Structure 1
Amino acid sequence: MKKLLSLAVMAIGLAEAQAQDVKIEFITPSIVHVVKGQPTKTLVVTAKPQDVALTKKGNTTSSKELTVKQDAKGNLTFLTAKGKVLLKEKDCDVLQARQTFTLDKDEAIYGLGTIQNGKMNRRGEKKRMEQSNLEDFQNVLQSIKGYGIYWENYSPTLFEDNAEGMTFDAEVGNGVDYYFMYGNNADGVIAQMRYLSGDVPMFPLWTYGFWQSKERYKSAAETEGIVDQYRALNVPLDGIIQDWQYWGSNYLWNAMDFLAEDFSNGKQMIQNVHRKHAHFMISIWASFGPMTQQYRELNEKGLLMPFETWPQSGISHIWPPVMKYPSGVKVYDAFHPEARAIYWKYLKTLYDYGTDAWWMDSTDPDFFNPRESDYAHKVYGGTWRSQRNAFPLETVRGIYQAQRKDYGQKRVFIMTRSSYAGQQHYGSNMWSGDVNSSWDMLRKQVPAGLSYSLTGNPNFNTDIGGFFCGSYNTKGSGSAPRNPQFQELYVRWMQYGLFCPVFRSHGADAPREIWQFGKKGEPVYDAIEKQIRLRYRLIPYLYSTAWQVTSNNDSYMRPLFSDFAADKKVWNITDEFLFGRSILAAPIVKAQYTEEKIIRTDAMTGWNRQNATDGSAAGAIDFTATKTTTKYLPKGAAWYDFWTNKQYKGGQDVTLETTLDRVPMFVRAGSILPLGPEMQYVGEKAWDNLEMRVYPGANGRFTLYEDEGDNYNYEKGQYATITFQWNDKARTLTIGARKGSYPGMLTKRQFTIVTPDGKQQSVNYDGHQTQVRIAK
């Protein structure tokens, strides 16, 4: 290892210190960029360095927030302004792009991405970080001590924490390049990461409703008919998703047009969906079949990559793939600006038909049987190995920027299977891939989503029910929704999905629409409907939280330590989290009515439609029976059971009576929780009489946010907020004067104030401050 020379400070106005082998640059008083050797040409960092005032004493450089020391061996130590040690470098190998750090013995570390092992704390972890169907990596890690690291390298990287230290070891790189961020807590680190790489634009209001999908609707009539059936049953729905092969054969893979016979008029189908007050999302891929226009144009320009990807065979209906009929499908070079422009040129066809949202599948992308020559293939900006993990960022960014440039006002909404650091800035929500339908996998989704959120990317969801459910088809193909084992799993998964930013049912092997599980009046059907209806009631709270995500660097899904780091009992809790700042979500992730099935599939074997079942199915199950579960309530707050309004003191385990149709959830004392009207789709009813639930026990504050819902006028200041403040001692609720305005805004309305004791009173509101006293 090279010995690093002592730090030499350059001009304070440049906020930069440099030695022969080490360069540090203060981007802000709280963010330090460290480079040893050659820096990475950034695809992520958009922030420009501030003019940071620095002081130097010997080998120490300080801002008002951070101090960086360099020892005789060249290793750096990061300290707070008060001298508390945050992190120490141990050693590095510049030529190997490897850096080791020393952590405190009991220091918990979090993030990196959606690692599917059911853990939150990354201590003791060893993981090769390369994008895949089920696991995605953002190279962002944060500590319980309130600092974070963004490892600026796009090649696959080995992360390992052991007795020797915590190490990032990249496969490609001529140097070590990382950002040290001090935020004081989890929210602060997230804010620093978003400062570096971009804020989170608002999604359309309608995206927070319920989405129905499956693999796959095989005709335009079927797709449209799903919306009809939801409307006929009066079950809320806002989105329908069209999965792959609407383009026809695999040789026309991702042609971005309705070429299959059963989709002969896709444009009309989309128009019909809109007339039913629903929105339309469509599957698009990062690869193209050899008979498509896109393939030919990209191929002529050398903008396709040579490796094997999905689908491997041109014969679409046979598994395993018939390799003597190769599909010829190739992934495009998303790093190349010309390739991204070609991609969008053809995608505009679907947009012009009326498509509302993009489902960007295989943005990892699928990369089968990798060869060294594949990794060495030159792409724009480097080699496939050197750029590998940033592929999802570049392909998503290409769509976001192009749509905003060409069409301006309509908000971009992208759902994608993979993500990299900074992707939060490009209108995307990531889902966790083709996970199997098992209780074990459901349990893993909770920490996976929280870990993802801790990297600065707030938008996460999963396939409700799990993607591969074929092992539950014990009474024939597609019978899983009538198998009690799958029914219980699906309901509990939906109750978890209730607290994800996107609420979407999807999967293979069996349909997932509500009527597949029974009929109204039956416990499973009723439980599913209850979750959907609750989701719509929560939308005013959720949309206001979305504004805090955009304007205040908040997160939707918050690990308990984000708010209760002083309570060490919450550091490793993986089945509870905060949904926004008021609701504690505690979904049930273990079977209570049926036996758990052990399901082992991966993203390839799961596609085998012949996957075996064990031949068993649960016997007569009484889903109306009452069960119990135990949940932990964090210390430092009092909590109300959302359903019973019973109050609990924090810092204890509580045992609850549970039913199939209720997800355990609590509301923090001091919260002000807005609930909207029940509706069939977002916008059906005005928010002219919101129920405002006030939970005494602490002072509280909540800001209700409203805008036009599906354009970017909010970026120009066209939105309105109303701040509610609860004074617990005086028992008064102050409804502040409305701030801001937007076209179509309600100027007069009512609020119905409700407290846990059942008392309620109505308040007329015309935009001026008013105060309500609530008697005990």
Structure 2
Amino acid sequence: MKMNLIKKVGFLLVSAALVATSSVAQNVQRTPQGIKYATQGMDVSVEFYSPTIVRVYKTPMQTSCNKESLVIIKTPETTPVTFGENGKNVTLSSGAVRVEVNTETGGIHFFDKSGKRMLTDKDYGTQFTPFDDAGVPAFNVRQAFLLDKDEVIYGLGQQQTGKVNQRNQKLFLRNQNMSICIPFIHSVKGYALYVDNYSPTTFLDNPQEMSFDSEVGDCADYYFIYGGNADGVIAGVRDLTGQAPLYPLWTLGFWQCRERYKSPDELCEVVDRYRDLKVPLDGIIQDWQYWGCDSNWNSMKFQNPRYINKMGDPEYMKYLPNGEDKNARYGTPRIKSPKEMIDYVHKQNAHIMISVWASFGPWTEMYQKMDSLKALLHFDTWPPNAGVRPFDPFNPVARNIYWAEMKKNIFDLGMDAWWLDSTEPDHLNVKDQDFNTPTYLGSFRRVHNAFPLMSNKGVYEHQRAVTTDKRVFLLTRSSFLGQQRYASHSWSGDVVSDWSVMRKQIAAGLNYSLCGIPYWNTDLGGFFAWKYNNTVDNVAYHELHTRWYQWGAFQPIMRSHNSGPVAVEIYQFGKKGDWAYDALEKYTHLRYRLLPYVYSTSWEVTDKAGSFIRPLMMDFPEDKKVLDMDTEYMFGRNFLVRPVTDSLYTWQDKEQNGHLKDMSKVGKTDVYLPQGARWFDFWTGQALEGGQTIQREVPIDIMPIYVRAGSILPWGPAVQYSTEKKWDNLTVRIYPGADAEFTLYEDEFDNYNYEKGAYTTITMKWDDKERILTIADRQGSYKGMLKNRKFNFVVVEPGKGCGDEDTMAFDKSVSYRGKKVVVKL
């Protein structure tokens, strides 16, 4: 039987049994972990889901409903709650959170255990306005809250405003390319608020109130999440919506992409060039149109004749992509089939990901199957004027069909990862009636923003069901709260190649991370190079791409991509000895030397609800200067990263042609070093006090990177791909000035045995006063683990243990066989 998202039920008068339950005030019924009461024409439920999470659920009287959340997977845990009353005021307390309810005005106040007010659900602040939802009676739902005057809030997904602090603005939250919309705010006070509604929603914050005005719903439903600090909030989000699975190690290396590689030969030649140049590479990506023309959009088959050695064959030439010359002569390809292409990439010790869309062209079998199921959404989508239509990912049968075709035609060939593009989905020629389009769970308006969540759900759950040997990796252009549980990684969309746009991506990523979703990146160099005459030969673009690429080495996933005709493989920027080429090569190698740190951070994300991208407020909440910092962040717990977001070495004339300045005149950029720590310049080893802004020289190959005093940094081997060498002879850099701890994580790198305990951790602790490093007993085991290894320790100081070069002289080296070792340095 079809399962509706909202199933309306008749309003029930309070039964004698319910009236007889323990009550704390008139018209208030006590439940095991909360209360129910009526006020302001609403039935209200306040329920503790845990000692730190509270759900508030409101329905208009006589229209109560049962709601099945698409986002929340946690069921309420047993939480002792104490109750109190004072006239119309009812108090509930878990010990960690106190909730005060005014049963007359509807106001709800949230406090921490010390009595500090966190958030107020405003008196008379919930409004239900009748709304015709494609013929179904529903409501426009408005919820208003009160914040402190100077309270800083973050979140709302990924926006392109360039603002870190989300106060004092109006935003329309409807997912679209470059804008990921989540009705979620994360306060600097140590709590979060999530409104569980998937329809387009207007967020408004002004001096009077903060409100969420959702176009359609049957109830007002929100979750208050208390964490005490930002890490605690994110742990609460993951507890409520799901933990992030661990990615395979190879995904944390370097990815090369282009819109698009037009044949298997072209794609494989890129892998060859990287191997010949000895520039590390782990992933190559096949973008769209391997299926052929627009009418055959996303057939989930290799039907483009270039991919199946059918050029000149009339049966297949009809599939040649729009605009390609059907009369040109074609030589015999080296790689003659998709299977051969995938196998070749694997023989080169690389992996391959492929683009799959959420829509289908009218020639495809999938279009016909989805249409017969009534699982197509009939509004205009990309590409224009081709009759392409999105499918309905809310329909479980449609999700089954979608995966079955992916598996049969692509996954079974050996494909490693999926690029789920256009999961907003693209919506062209937008008309209001488009949102009345029916889905399995009601109107498209009702569920719009959850489209990416359900698209990713289908692929993740199906791949997990067929194999445990290959970890799921999904790159997708849109997202919603909870999507991290589906191994989903979002990027910031098809952004323009531009300095100001690059800078805005920093704020976008910081806010997205503070929604509790850990994996995010950008197209390195931007996607559309219109401002550079659409040519990679523009020297001004070289500078922008170089700076963006440097930043990419400190994003969770490092992926270079651009729109045709611009190609951004490293050799497009010259050769060894050319400044752009050398800088790109330098940061690619740096990323690989940091893989032990990056992979261990990835484990912290999975095991301890950690974060890769850490706005400075997470680690320095007492430093007021960092609360709205939009130029810097922590990468993991140890690296302070300050991307260079201004052009210093090139200029453009009025025709957009690029020109080089005198590069011997070294530019500078401001770097703020947060108060509460000492900082080491990664490149020089110079130690600096926090709480100051410095002017850092930034020659074209230097991005400011600082390491917090009290850090332990494992330094991996020089490799051409992530698993080329074992981590059996690691350099370990120690940044003194404070005590430190780091846990090195290892496993089999690409299967789910880690979920069964097949992994190891080695914890290192630095006692700064005594200058003693303690390596604890190795915990755990897995097949093929390193039983014996060498650690080479260096205490960082100017000119020693710094930069991207190998350390030649160590303070001490030790053999480690899994048992505790104490080292005096």
Shorter-chain TM-score bucket reads over 0.9
Task: Tell me, yes or no, if structure 1 residue 380 matches structure 2 residue 440.
Answer: yes
Contact 1:138 1:420 in 2 (8 A): yes
Rate the CA distance shift 1:169–1:34 in 2: closer, same or farther, 3 A: same
Contact 1:677 1:685 in 2 (8 A): yes
| Greater CA drift, 18-27 or 219-228 | 18-27
Q: Which amino acid is the alignment partner of residue 70 of structure 1?
A: V
* Matching residue of 1:62: 93
Distance 1:14 1:409 in 2: 41
Distance 1:170 1:161 in 2: 15
| Greater CA drift, 371-380 or 505-514 | 371-380
Rate the CA distance shift 1:596–1:424 in 2: closer, same or farther, 3 A: farther
Distance 1:375 1:361 in 2: 21
The 5-angstrom pairing of residues 271-286 of structure 1 reads 271-286=343-358
Contact 1:9 1:56 in 2 (8 A): no
Distance 1:619 1:302 in 2: 56
Q: Deviations over 1:227-259 (max 9, x none)?
A: 000001000000000000011111111011111
Choose which of 180, 186, 198 in structure 2 pairs with 1:154: 198
Aligned-pair CA distance for 1:690: 1.0
Distance 1:738 1:171 in 2: 54
SS at match of 1:169: strand
Q: Which amino acid is the alignment partner of residue 459 of structure 2?
A: I
Distance 1:271 1:18 in 2: 63
Contact 1:439 1:596 in 2 (8 A): no
Distance 1:445 1:333 in 2: 30
Q: Deviations over 1:328-378 (max 9, x none)?
A: 111000000000001001000200111100001000100112223321121
Choose which of 451, 460, 464 in structure 1 pairs with 2:520: 460
Aligned-pair CA distance for 1:16: 4.5
Q: Deviations over 1:123-150 (max 9, x none)?
A: 0120010000010112221101001011
Distance 1:262 1:167 in 2: 53
Contact 2:34 2:92 in 1 (8 A): no
The 5-angstrom pairing of residues 667-678 of structure 1 reads 667-678=707-718
SS at match of 1:643: coil
Task: Tell me, yes or no, if structure 1 residue 22 matches structure 2 residue 44.
Answer: yes
Distance 2:367 2:210 in 1: 43
Contact 2:101 2:109 in 1 (8 A): yes
The 5-angstrom pairing of residues 106-505 of structure 1 reads 106-264=150-308, 265-313=337-385, 327-348=386-407, 349-473=409-533, 480-505=535-560
Q: Which amino acid is the alignment partner of residue 371 of structure 2?
A: N
SS at match of 2:43: coil
Distance 2:397 2:447 in 1: 17
Contact 1:280 1:356 in 2 (8 A): yes
* Matching residue of 1:611: none
Distance 1:432 1:220 in 2: 27
Aligned-pair CA distance for 1:486: 0.4
Task: Tell me, yes or no, if structure 1 residue 547 matches structure 2 residue 603.
Answer: yes
Distance 2:346 2:413 in 1: 11
Q: Which amino acid is the alignment partner of residue 126 of structure 2?
A: C
* Matching residue of 1:102: 146
Task: Tell me, yes or no, if structure 1 residue 584 matches structure 2 residue 616.
Answer: no
Contact 1:470 1:510 in 2 (8 A): no
Distance 2:689 2:479 in 1: 39
Q: Which amino acid is the alignment partner of residue 399 of structure 2?
A: R
Distance 2:674 2:28 in 1: 45
Q: Could you tell me the percent identity over the aligned residues?
A: 48
Aligned-pair CA distance for 1:61: 1.1
Task: Tell me, yes or no, if structure 1 residue 92 matches structure 2 residue 164.
Answer: no
Contact 1:15 1:52 in 2 (8 A): no
* Matching residue of 1:526: 582
Distance 2:724 2:27 in 1: 63
SS at match of 2:234: helix
* Matching residue of 1:322: none
Distance 2:718 2:612 in 1: 22
Rate the CA distance shift 1:6–1:328 in 2: closer, same or farther, 3 A: farther
Aligned-pair CA distance for 1:654: 1.4
Contact 1:39 1:177 in 2 (8 A): no
Contact 1:362 1:417 in 2 (8 A): yes
Aligned-pair CA distance for 1:624: 5.3
SS at match of 1:546: helix
SS at match of 2:32: helix
Task: Tell me, yes or no, if structure 1 residue 46 matches structure 2 residue 73.
Answer: yes
State how many pairs are aligned: 736
TM-score by length of 1: 0.93
RMSD between superposed Cα atoms in Å: 1.5
* Matching residue of 1:763: 814
SS at match of 2:658: coil
Contact 2:291 2:302 in 1 (8 A): yes
Q: Which amino acid is the alignment partner of residue 94 of structure 1?
A: F
Rate the CA distance shift 1:376–1:616 in 2: closer, same or farther, 3 A: closer
* Matching residue of 1:663: 703
Aligned-pair CA distance for 1:92: 1.5
Aligned-pair CA distance for 1:11: 5.0
Contact 1:378 1:384 in 2 (8 A): yes
Aligned-pair CA distance for 1:186: 1.0
Aligned-pair CA distance for 1:533: 0.3
SS at match of 2:748: coil
Distance 1:408 1:292 in 2: 31
| Greater CA drift, 292-301 or 384-393 | 292-301
Q: Which amino acid is the alignment partner of residue 412 of structure 1?
A: V
Distance 1:507 1:24 in 2: 49
* Structure of greater Rg: 2
Contact 2:36 2:43 in 1 (8 A): no
Aligned-pair CA distance for 1:483: 1.6
Task: Tell me, yes or no, if structure 1 residue 740 matches structure 2 residue 780.
Answer: yes
Distance 1:6 1:417 in 2: 49
The 5-angstrom pairing of residues 529-678 of structure 1 reads 529-595=585-651, 614-623=654-663, 625-678=665-718
SS at match of 2:163: coil
Contact 1:39 1:176 in 2 (8 A): no
Aligned-pair CA distance for 1:67: 0.9
Aligned-pair CA distance for 1:57: 0.8
SS at match of 2:111: strand
TM-score by length of 2: 0.88
* Matching residue of 1:512: 568
Contact 1:6 1:74 in 2 (8 A): no
Distance 2:749 2:692 in 1: 41
Contact 1:15 1:53 in 2 (8 A): no
Q: Which amino acid is the alignment partner of residue 794 of structure 2?
A: V
Distance 1:300 1:382 in 2: 18
